[in-house]
Amino acid sequence: MLGERMNTRVEGKSRFESDASRYAAYLTSPDGRLRTDLAFRNLRDFLPPSAGVNSLHALDLGGGTGESAMRLAHRGMSVTLLDSSPAMLELAGRAASETKFRDQITVKHGDAARLTEIFEERSFDAILCHNLLEYVDDPVAVLRSAQRLMRNSSAILSVLVRSQSGEVLKAALKTGDLEAAERNLTADWGEESLYGGRVRLFVPEALETMLKEASFTIHARRAVRIVADYLPAQISRSAEYEKIFALEQKLGQRLEYFGMARYMQCFASSAIPRSEGVE
């Protein structure tokens, strides 16, 4: 088990350091845009109210090239982007420096497994953990550390993870590989298509158990990318993007689609009152 964890950590770091520009390019593709746009549109409904520019502090864990960090800064938040890949941080820092929000964004090199060593407790009003838990050794430990960083009961955590059922449908509907679809019904790991290597898969029950074990209370669930991956080829993902986005947003708010999506997003707050401290 220890060897497996160490391999997971090494694979996760190396794939994002080798060619960060590939990930940046993916985010401009219809699939990449849809994932980011839907996740952030969902997040907007749960962000705590701001008392003014820079009055709220957000932490973007594994924030990569800074796409979400810049969107948070645009909404008046002071944002810290943490990532273990220097190559990703270079792209994020460069992108931030070219905007009027550069003074609101701090890029920081660090490992999500060591959050409480890097940041003071009760420091953030919002924490994004988007597509990070797939690559860490111990997702629950990361969530527990994030819980300690939540400022108060109004602080919000947004978690976005890859769904096991998405791998089942991908194999069955996109490649017609029924044997792979059946294997994926019980698979804990999938194949990451952009860089290669393994990626952890989640089912709704396991994700919710992890959040509860980390002392979070779940407030909402959203499905991200439910049908877009399987649309007929004659439908242009670029030309019909707005229609696809609108449909995905409506479907994503319906609980029956939560476990079917490519990605599952949960919004949660600390279940431990801040006045009682965190032991």
CA pair distance 252, 186, nearest whole angstrom: 24
CA 155 distance to own-chain centroid: 17
The parent domain of residue 108 ranges over: 2-270
Q: Using a pLDDT cut of 90, give the percent of the chain over it.
A: 78
DSSP β-bridge partners for residue 268: 157, 218
For residue 127, count CB atoms less than 10 angstroms from its CB and return exposed for 0-12, middle for 13-18, buried for 19 or more: buried
The model's pLDDT over 179-190, given as tens digits with 9 standing for 90+, comes to 999 999 999 999
Domains: count for the chain: 1
In a domain, 277, yes or no: no
Distances (CA, A) of 61 to 101, 183, 237: 19, 31, 29
SS3 assignment, position 76: coil
Sign of CA pseudo-dihedral 25, 29, 33, 34: negative
The reported pLDDT for the residue numbered 208 is 97
In a domain, 52, yes or no: yes
The reported pLDDT for the residue numbered 5 is 46
In a domain, 278, yes or no: no
| Residue type present at position 253 | Q
Q: Is the pLDDT of residue 8 over 60?
A: no
Confidence of residue 132 (pLDDT cuts 50, 70, 90): very high
In a domain, 276, yes or no: no
The reported pLDDT for the residue numbered 15 is 59
In a domain, 248, yes or no: yes
Distances (CA, A) of 267 to 81, 187, 216, 272: 19, 25, 9, 16
In a domain, 152, yes or no: yes
In a domain, 73, yes or no: yes
CA pair distance 88, 68, nearest whole angstrom: 13
In a domain, 275, yes or no: no
Q: Write the CATH number for 16.
A: 3.40.50.150
How many CB atoms lie under 10 A from the CB of residue 212? Answer: 15
